[in-house]
Amino acid sequence: MCQDNKPSLRHQGSLLGNERLSDSTHLLTIKAPELAYAARPGQFVQIKTSRYLRRPIGLMSVDREQGLIQLGIRRVGPGSNELCDLAPGIAVDLVGPLGTGFNLGLFGEGACETGPAHLVTVGGGTGLFPLLYLLEEAAGQGIPTTAIAGFRSPAEAILQERMRATAKRCIFASDTGGLDFTGHAGEALTSVLDTWHLRPEQILICACGPAGLLENIALQCLERKIPCQVSLEARMACGIGVCVGCSIPVYCHNGGAETAESETTYERCCYDGPVFPAARIVWPSRGGIW
């Protein structure tokens, strides 16, 4: 009788800690060794709640040696409120890791010949969570990093100490001032790129956050010819690509709208993504319907 040696996607984890980061955000630490071993930056899990559908949550950090994962969760409704109120010691039903994550091997061609590669992460809101995992992975590979994080106000700023301990350079932006940069994260990225002398192929920009911010970053990168990957958010049901309810508009070719072949199609955010090359996304300003 043949045995299926594929790793299971369903896991029973144990909640070790529930830390309140702000009035609306919590950090869950879960023991789930098999999941931690298989997880990669940019992937996510589906967590069971008392509601009908599981809730998709991006992986914020992974400790493979200890078998731990961390998830950042913001209160936005009954399901996320339930997760934020979980008590340590209970069992957590997880499906994952799911989706296609970030790829640190996709620096521009010739980066090694022209100088050291440099990773820049740009995030806002809950988009900071998967980027922290990416920064930790890059640090482990010896890749220099700059982290740009945007908040509405200093009172909503979270994870500053942890990001400063992980990234080589951090820039915290606030729309109302009071942090390193006054303005949104996209404007902070512009100020950084305007002062750098690195060649485009030496830089990889990875972003996660609201769609408007991601479009701003993507168009900057297209103009400057800098490789860029974006992690998108969409309403998900199954999380494994079956229901196609989270489909997003993309160009059929990596060249995007800049090429003669600009036919479009749809791909599943949960399965083909959530991380995509920014040049492939049909952004709203270019006719994409979200």
Q: What 3-state DSSP class applies to 200?
A: helix
* Average pLDDT value over all residues in the chain: 87
Predicted TM-score of the model (pTM): 0.90
| 111-286 and 10-98 share a CATH fold | no
The CATH classification of domain 10-98, taken from the options 3.40.800.10, 3.40.50.300, 1.10.3720.10, 2.40.30.10: 2.40.30.10
Cα separation, 199 vs 192, in Å, equals 13
Residue 107 in this model has a pLDDT that exceeds 60: no
Cα separation, 114 vs 225, in Å, equals 15
In this structure, what are the phi and psi dihedrals at residue 131, rounded to the nearest 5 degrees? -70, -30
Q: For the chain, where are the alpha helices, taking DSSP H only? A: 33-38, 78-84, 111-114, 128-140, 160-166, 185-195, 211-224
pLDDT of residue 108: 47
- Would you list the domain boundaries of the chain? 10-98, 111-286
Burial class from Cβ neighbours inside 10 Å (0-12, 13-18, 19+) for residue 96 reads: buried
Report which of 106, 186, 116, 184 is spatially closest to residue 145, judged by C-alpha positions.
116
Residue 171 in this model has a pLDDT that exceeds 90: yes
If pLDDT is split at 50, 70 and 90, which confidence band does 89 have?
very high
The answer to whether domain 111-286 has CATH 3.40.50.970 is no
Residue 253 in this model has a pLDDT that exceeds 80: no
If pLDDT is split at 50, 70 and 90, which confidence band does 137 have?
very high
If pLDDT is split at 50, 70 and 90, which confidence band does 1 have?
very low
Cα separation, 171 vs 196, in Å, equals 15
Residue 229 in this model has a pLDDT that exceeds 70: yes
Decide: 30 and 14 in contact? Cβ < 8 Å.
yes
In this structure, what are the phi and psi dihedrals at residue 83, rounded to the nearest 5 degrees? -65, -40
If pLDDT is split at 50, 70 and 90, which confidence band does 111 have?
very low
**Which range among 215-224, 231-240, 273-282 shows the weakest confidence by mean pLDDT?**
231-240
197-207 pLDDT per residue, tens: 888 888 999 99
pLDDT of residue 145: 95
Tell me the percentage of the chain whose pLDDT exceeds 90: 61
33-77 pLDDT per residue, tens: 999 999 999 999 999 988 888 889 999 999 999 999 999 999 988
Residue 260 in this model has a pLDDT that exceeds 50: no
Cα separation, 237 vs 53, in Å, equals 6
